[in-house]
Amino acid sequence: MLPLPFFDHVYVIDFEFIAKPSEHPIPVCVVSHEINSGETKRLWLFEESNPQPPYSISENDLFVAHMSSVEWGCHLVLNWPLPFNVIDTFVEYRCFTNHSYERRGTSLLDACKAFGIDTISKVEKDAARDLILAGAPYSKEDQEYIMRYCESDVLETAELFKRILTVPDFDIPTYLYRGEYMKSVAEIEYNGIPIDTDLLNELQENWEKIKFKLIKNIDKFGIYEVTSFKVNNFERFIQVNNWMWPRTETGLPKTDKETFKEMAEIHPEIGSLKELKALIGGLNFKSIIAGSDGRSRTLISPSWTKTGRNAPKDDEEKKNRVELRVRFMFGLPACLRSLLKPTERKVLTYIYYAQQEFFIAAVLSKDPNMIEAYQSGDPYLAFAKLAGAVPADATKETHGSERQLFKSCVLGVHYGLGAESLGFKIGKPTPYAKELLSNHKRVFKSYWRWVDMTWTQACLMKRIETCYKWKMIVSGSSNKEMLTVRNFPIQATGAEILRVACILLSENNIKIVAPVHDAVMIECDEKVADKEIEIARKLMCDASEIVLGAGNRLKTDVDIVRYTGRYVEEKGAETWNLIMRILTEVKQE
């Protein structure tokens, strides 16, 4: 008997389904195994009318699955109620094998292998999945083969669950909390993000002509040759401007997405070039797939990172039973997000935490100056004032450049940047950056003591964890790992806050269409939008207080988009407007 006497039934379940890009899953079959009785049930679902669950769904039943958000997505498609209690073996295995210095596979096969559990081979799994994805017609033999394969997954998951219950720090309430979030993830994936499909179709049809005009309009530097970004030409551009630029091991300028993002903060004049490079490089309108209901859907990939944050994939691949992993709209260049548009009588609202990482660091370190700086409404300018770099009456308008430097210092500190790296990031000499860091250490002394203690304790304990026990194993062996560990409490606590926020929003029937690092986008009916937005903001503040403790409430800001408007991010607005002008030109031609 499992150590779970407070549940009437413990069901391990698995669905097989057909996944088409940006569409709801099409359930093919479901198999359940009740652990206590040993009873296994199979149910064929494909093209069956109004099938009913082969298991009870009550407050006293526990449901177990591996990457369970896809199972609950099938429940939503079938109009079955979501279970009350969920434990996800993927999330828990991911948690207790989460290393700061390596990454292990987390598929069901990987998890079972780690515990020495016998499984069918990967070749057999791939063959079964190929048969499922091929779609109808399914012969009787096909149906039997598919359900037998599904049953093997269920029995493997059941054995994995039993092993997970034996690991140190076994904690049912924590497991159930993370399982609750997987239900929210299922609802988010089911909802999808509404996009302007008419405009998308026009842009896709005319993209080949648009991209040539885009290059002509944006690339005033002569970096592109036809549609190819030439590193040699870019090297000359850097030298002409006398810029310091990150280099590869071979000495060439780095041209990856993250480098361009960082350097565009230092040199805003290349912001449009950054967007252009992403668009021409593949993350363009051709990458976006809308479902038949005009919505974009992708797997949220919860708890995928070391800090437990979501990591929606921006690439297409056959993985995790999904034939095509659609690009996440918020993982695309900022200009493409202007395709997000509310449907008639709907309102889209982007709700985001203000300076989340700064406040988390302030609360965890109990640094009074950091807390005071956050409460001022502008922690970066407050830091500059505390450092004596700007007068007490300084504002963002009067001292914007100084504020930006101190902001870069704050964010750089969280990611462990030294004086040389920070100087490079802000385009200033190393001695200037060293003085910025000295100011930070002088003003926020409690924070720095906490940072040092965090690393020391993690090395001694060989682990670090959040208040809700999201763990990371630590070896204490390298400077790189030290930077990861020091940043872990801030990022991982942010992940906990977002999980709690999504759970609260789901419980209050607030429709989430996307979680985005430290934000969510929700969709409301026009008639009740103002009230729901107010409720949603309060719930998000409540979530921060639940995680950080009484009185520690993060502030939120909102961007509200009403029909017939569209979502616009400031950093992508210029490129979006240019694309719209070019589209008009192309259509007139």
Can you tell me the distance from the alpha carbon of 203 to that of 580, in angstroms, rounded to the nearest whole number?
Answer: 9
Spans of all domains in the chain? 9-191, 368-443
pLDDT of residue 323: 38
> pLDDT, tens digit, for every residue of 442-459?
999 999 999 999 999 999
Give the pLDDT of residue 415: 81
Q: Is it the case that residue 329 has pLDDT exceeding 50?
A: yes
For 161-173, how does the pLDDT look when each residue is reduced to its tens digit (9 = 90+)?
Answer: 999 999 888 899 9
At 512, the amino acid letter reads I
- Comparing 213-217, 479-483, 537-541, the range with the smallest average pLDDT is 479-483
Where residue 23 falls among pLDDT bands split at 50, 70, 90? very high
State yes or no: pLDDT of 6 exceeds 60: yes
pLDDT, position 344: 96
Architecture of domain 9-191: 2-Layer Sandwich (3.30)
Q: List, for residues 168-207, the tens digit of each pLDDT value.
A: 888 999 999 999 999 999 999 999 999 999 999 999 999 9
Over residues 530-539, the pLDDT tens digits come to 999 999 999 9
Tell me what pLDDT residue 265 has: 81
| pLDDT above 80 (res 2) | no
- Among residues 291, 298, 304, 323, which one has the least CA distance to residue 67? 304
Percent of the chain residues topping a pLDDT of 70: 97
pLDDT for residue 321 is more than 50? no
Q: Please name the helix (run of DSSP H) or strand (run of DSSP E) that holds residue 93, with its range, or none.
A: helix 89-96
Residue 326 pLDDT: 63
Q: What is the pLDDT of residue 101?
A: 82
Helix, coil or strand: residue 266: helix
Banded model confidence at residue 313, pLDDT cuts 50, 70, 90: low
Radius of gyration over every alpha carbon of the chain, rounded to an integer in angstroms = 26
Q: Do 329 and 458 meet the contact criterion of CB atoms below 8 Å apart?
A: no
Q: Tokens in use for 457?
A: 């304790």
Question: What are the distances in angstroms from CA 143 to CA 15, 18, 165, 331, 548?
Answer: 13, 14, 33, 38, 50
Query: H-helix or E-strand containing 14?
Result: strand 9-18
Distance CA 165, CA 508 (A): 31
What single-letter amino acid sits at 133? Answer: L
In 250-340, the DSSP E strands lie at 295-296
Residue-wise pLDDT for 256-300, tens only, equals: 988 998 888 888 889 899 999 999 987 888 889 999 999 999 999
Query: Does 556 sit behind a cis peptide bond, omega within 30 degrees of 0 on the bond before it?
Result: no
Task: Report the candidate in 28, 108, 105, 106 with the shortest Cα–Cα distance to residue 64.
Answer: 108
Average pLDDT over the chain, rounded to whole? 93
Element (DSSP H or E) covering residue 135: none
Q: Is the pLDDT of residue 217 over 60?
A: yes
- Determine contact, residues 2/10, Cβ cutoff 8 Å: yes
Predicted local confidence at residue 283, as pLDDT: 80
5 — pLDDT class (breaks 50, 70, 90) = confident
Please count the CA atoms within 13 angstroms of the CA of 422 that sit on its side-chain side: 26
pLDDT score at 267 = 85
Name the E strands within 510-588: 511-516, 519-525, 556-562
pLDDT in tens, 490-511: 999 999 999 999 999 999 999 9
Amino acid 425: pLDDT: 82
The position carrying tokens 């092993």 is: 163
Rounded Cα–Cα distance for residues 525 and 502 (Å): 19
* Per-residue pLDDT tens digits for 51-60: 999 999 999 9
Predicted pLDDT of residue 410: 93
Question: Taking residues 112-135, what's their average pLDDT?
Answer: 91
User: Is the alpha carbon torsion for 88, 90, 96, 99 positive or negative?
Assistant: negative
On the question of pLDDT at 529 being above 60, the answer is yes
Q: How confident is the model at residue 244 (pLDDT cuts 50, 70, 90)?
A: confident
Tokens of 354: 């203000």
pLDDT at 427: 82
For residues 57-70, give the mean pLDDT: 97
Residue 141's pLDDT is: 94
pLDDT tens digits, 388-410: 999 999 999 999 999 999 999 99
Phi, then psi, of 221 in degrees rounded to 5? -95, -10
Taking the C-alpha atoms of residue 505 and residue 272, their distance in angstroms, rounded to an integer, is 36
Q: What is the pLDDT of residue 378?
A: 96
**What pLDDT is recorded for position 325?**
45
